Structure 1
């Protein structure tokens, strides 16, 4: 973890300065005071845990300074915007409420009301107030914060609008914690929208630019949990690009991630993707480990409905159920039920149909699921239940 930079060190010293010494310093405008919070947040984006730990104290001090400021200063639009930025950066809504009660804040009421509604958990009101605001028409000092809020309000219902606002936030405040946060959010919105190209490009950019951010570890963990649920993670043609991206993650995280992708693909019937992901997981795990056993199980389960049926069934029968997670034990029974009821059928050679020639290649074995339909239905029910449990666990 990076140590706090010179800016953060100076801020820590400032917090420890006696009030008597502060009184001798020139009075600073609220928008000037806010700069120390921005400087601290930029240190956080660079990986300073000390800066992160100091943030709450800085916000508290700013709140006190804002409340004690001469009410006339809030007639300056710069200071009014600073109050909203303070609020959207984690500041106290009570502080902004006091400022509003004591005098007029020189800012568009829609922005102020929308920001307060958003922080207080009233998204419909926030959406109504902020929906018509165009961030690029605002001063940079507040535009990026408003764009971030708008993206959060749009994320569930309008992925494109959310992505547009996040793009604006990133471009308005490059190299800051605003860009770092916007990148993190946009990556997952792009994944949910099945925009693999954007997801890939932004993930690589984040890992290149903000690898040291104190939020990067949480980002990697979320990425690992979420990527298996994205539909592009079940498309075999994209697997090499997915591997190149996931190789940027910590080595210890990757085996479990590929196992998660393999299982998700399996219960969704994406056997080719399940096979690829399971094979990849096996290359990243040690022989004899529980992870290797799971990878072998998922690979065999994927292949049992292919031309490698016989070998896969032998592998399934050799799987040690006691070494699998509990939720996989029932899945193993279901897959075995399917595998044991699969029979291979070769075409009948008639009198007019001699041995196949080069112009008539022999047909490979095909899979017929018709025997023991009750057993197959039972297996499918078990697969469906397993999928339901997976979704509940990964929420």
Structure 2
């Protein structure tokens, strides 16, 4: 842990009157290491689990509104609090409030070893329902999904303290998401109602945007996106949200819903100009790969409008638009001219591959009978062809060599997750 992280953690503890619990003496600037011994609390002033949990939650709520200092300090605070939780004696755990605080702490990023210790103690005072939650939580954070489901899915959330109920609802949502997206979304609604203004709500919103796009609930998708951008656009994890949003946009066929596209454009106005431009570019690139060529063109057009003065972005927008247009017989000549005029020196390697692939596909299209896609195929071409991941320009009756070539082109492209730096949220 860095010295700055230690300072932020110590400050968080002091805010709740816990500075008297023997935080280490100030460490030398040259020594960034915090030893477990240096944070061991005095026996006469041991903070309660509920106090320690609340300290962490307050810091995490600051992360939700964009505090990089809190983000830095979180790691240090977790190191301190893990040591203190582990050091608590058996008598502390006879109070179920402390047991539930330990559960919430582990779901907030604390060490699973704390729950393992509770189970190994064989505490007879541990209520049966609390034991099930401890076991289920431990299984969840350790990746034993089936066991977690068996212990946690039937919980009565209404019988639990609000914040713990919200955390466990977030867990249940994650366990439901692949089998029952509707129920998963309902649980995320519950989280947002139980824990407004917290990192839990911020994390629930990020997840729910993704779920809404999967279930095709576009009204909710737009509402959630607008909500997040208005309230949490500066979150430390906003980059993760933008990644989810870009991924969601690529699954929508805007060619069949102009009104929806206009709604997206309106909602995204809450973002900075550069962020909007990059989001449109990422979504346009991936829409090409998904075969949504009309969507790709529309997204690229929006990116181009925001690319004034940025040659690289303008070039990318031009590339994506032209790559999407080569499958339209009436536009192929203009699209090829645009592709050939692109300055390759400003392209990323993956975009250079896309440019080469688009030109290759265009050449194949021009060699087809009549120099264009067969008239009988024309109605289905615009949104089922994938140029440059590109195109399913041929049906099963066309030459196997063409299909093999197109397959190789698709496989050569970098997926969109290589264009975005992954940001992993710490909210469980």
Fold agreement, TM-score > 0.5 = yes
Equivalence for 1:142? 164
Q: Is the 8 A contact 2:297 2:320 kept in 1?
A: yes
Judged with a 3 Å threshold, the aligned counterparts in structure 2 of structure 1 residues 389 and 170 are, in CA distance, closer, same or farther, namely farther
Residues 353-392 of structure 1 correspond to what in structure 2 (within 5 A)? 382-390=405-413, 392=415
Aligned to 2:262: 240
Match of 2:36 in 1: none
Q: For the Cα contact (< 8 Å) 2:135–2:151, is it kept in 1? A: yes
Q: Does structure 1 conserve the Cα–Cα contact (< 8 Å) formed by 2:112 and 2:141?
A: yes
CA contact (8 A) 1:285 1:292 kept: yes
Looking at structure 2, the residues matched to 38 and 197 of structure 1 have their Cα atoms a distance apart, in angstroms, of 32
In the TM superposition, 1:175-324 aligns within 5 A as: 175-224=197-246, 226-232=247-253, 235-237=256-258, 238-286=260-308, 289-304=311-326, 305-320=328-343, 324=347
Note the C-alpha offset of 1:334. 0.7
Measured in 2, the distance between the counterparts of 1:13 and 1:181 equals 28
Q: 1:244 to 1:121 in 2, by over 3 A?
A: same
What is the aligned partner in structure 2 of residue 83 from structure 1? 102
Say if 1:51 and 1:298 are closer, same or farther in 2 by CA, change over 3 A. Answer: closer
Q: For the residues of structure 1 that align with 2:250 and 2:132, how far apart are their CA atoms? A: 37
Q: Report the Cα distance in structure 1 between the residues aligned to 2:193 and 2:60, rounded to whole angstroms.
A: 17
| Rg larger for | 1
The answer as to 2:92 corresponding to 1:73 is yes
Aligned length: 370
Quote the residue 2:352 is aligned against. 326
For 2:257 and 2:21, how far apart are their aligned partners in 1? Answer: 60
In the superposition, relative to structure 1, how do residues 32 and 394 fare at CA in structure 2: closer, same or farther (>3 Å)? closer
Separation in 2 of the partners of 1:378 and 1:289?
37
Distance 1:300 1:68, change over 3 A: closer
Structure 2 residue 53 is matched with structure 1 residue 18:
no
Distance (Å, rounded) in 2 between the aligned partners of 1:376 and 1:254: 41
What RMSD in Å do the two structures reach over aligned CA positions?
Answer: 3.8
Alpha-carbon offset, residue 116 of structure 1: 0.4
Please state how far the C-alpha of 1:268 moved relative to its aligned partner.
Answer: 4.5
2: distance between equivalents of 1:290 and 1:378? Answer: 35
Deviation at 1:30, TM superposition (A): 2.4
Separation of aligned partners in 1, 2:182 and 2:83: 39
- 2:21–2:46 contact (8 Å) kept in structure 1: no
Runs of at least 5 residues in structure 1 that lack an aligned partner in the other structure: 346-365
Match for residue 119 of structure 2 among 76, 80, 100: 100
| Per-residue Cα deviation, 1:53-85 (whole angstroms, up to 9, x for no partner) | 222333333333334434233222211111111
Bigger drift between 169-178 and 10-19 goes to 10-19
Change (3 A) 1:309 1:14: same
Structure 2 unaligned runs (5+)?
A: 1-7, 26-40, 373-377, 382-392, 419-428
Query: Quick check: 2:115–2:134 contact (8 Å CA) kept in 1?
Result: no
